[in-house]
Structure 1
Amino acid sequence: MTQVVSLSFFRFDTWRARSWALGQMGLARGAMRRVPDIGFWKLCGSGTGEGFTPLPNAAVYAILATWPDLQTARARLSQAAVFSRYRAQAAEDWTVFMSTSTVRGAWSGICPFSPCPAADTTGPLAALTRATVKPAILSRFWGRVPDISRVIGTDPNVMFKIGIGEVPWLHQVTFSIWPDAAAMANFARTGPHAEAIRAVREEGWFREELYARFTLLGDQGSWGGRSPLTDTRQSEAA
């Protein structure tokens, strides 16, 4: 079997729904542990704007999970009570399903993703980075992030991008979808992002870090009234 990673996003429009979602960051943990077949999972909030800011966004939350295969992932997300409750409260939700192409590093002390040797690395891909920021360098880290956010926000190649995390300020997860590896590498190796990577290496900003790339397997739901993978499907059909 090939491990499948799901990343679900939920948008909450009313303050009542947003208060509910904030409470679930603690209250939903027991329910998540009881979901059959679930492996590694994390409940995450998001940042304002594109998510790459230190200011929390009360409207958007995310759930990352791993599953033994795609069929199981789709079934559990459809049937498990905790995911149903999130969908019932949310104004909009979207889930992307992926298999891991490459991964290095650790998240909460383990490597949660299992690479698939047969993963397709030639087409559109997703990238995820996760870091635990050392408290002593928080101001320097978040001082860099707005410049990176502006660049990725204007990059015509990025199909989807968001910043999420388990704990505001200390934990940062970036997730983005690109049409191909070349487009992603061009962003990563130039401008503010490249400068920040050099600072990370030279000054040791992170206590823990993980980098992963994924092959896209499919999605369900919508974000902003459409699937962010629409452009992917159109390019494959051309």
Structure 2
Amino acid sequence: MTGGVPEVLRTLARSARRPVVLTGAGMSAESGVPTFRDAQTGLWERFDAASLASPDAWNTDPAVVWAWYQWRAGLVRRAQPNAGHRALAEWGERTDLRIVTQNVDDLHERAGSVVAAHLHGSLFEPRCSVCGTPAGPIEPLTEPVERLDPPPCARCGGPIRPGAVWFGEPMPTGPLDVAFDCARTCDLMLVIGTSGVVHPAAGLPVLARESGATVVEINPDPTGISHAVDHVWRTTAGIGLPALLTD
């Protein structure tokens, strides 16, 4: 792993006119954001993360699901954007950068970036489970509790649900359409900190390359798309992006 920038990547970044960045969990790892299953600590250890993140769990006991998600939101809120997030925000001030993320955190936004698409939703965009009306900001938990009744929707009175996409739910068409458009129209795609195995996000680098873009993977480890990109740089977001994007 190294922060030394390959000259070909520096040239690509400087010449890009329509860059797109696709980010996954590795983008936020250096901020200390707990992974999906790392949030299973303390009283949550006896719960299965995948089971909690499902329509069935919500229908069975929404108070348990809401409590877990508000605890996760509190963990994320205490984290801070890392040097990689900040480098992307600064790059976005100089070029027509579009960010597509698989992450449900808000670290890109807190660093100063505008996110084109949150493919898997956001912990900080809860909505009514009945009518879909956005709920607005809700203060996350600072201490875990096993049950917490969801607040009622101001419009219809239905329970407010987390804004993250659950297992078994279809991907929201709006963000997905934006992501596909980004892939088709970019001239450079940086794929950062994603495993490359979760679809449809894993297909975006392939689509970008087929549409004429150069695709670069920035990840300390091999992934499911390493064989399908133009360049691979084995480094982390926090180390590599500041070095790559500093003029």
Superposition TM-score, scaled by structure 2 size: 0.27
Instruction: Determine which structure has the larger strand proportion and give its number.
Output: 1
The normalised TM-score by structure 1 is 0.27
Greater radius of gyration (CA) = 2
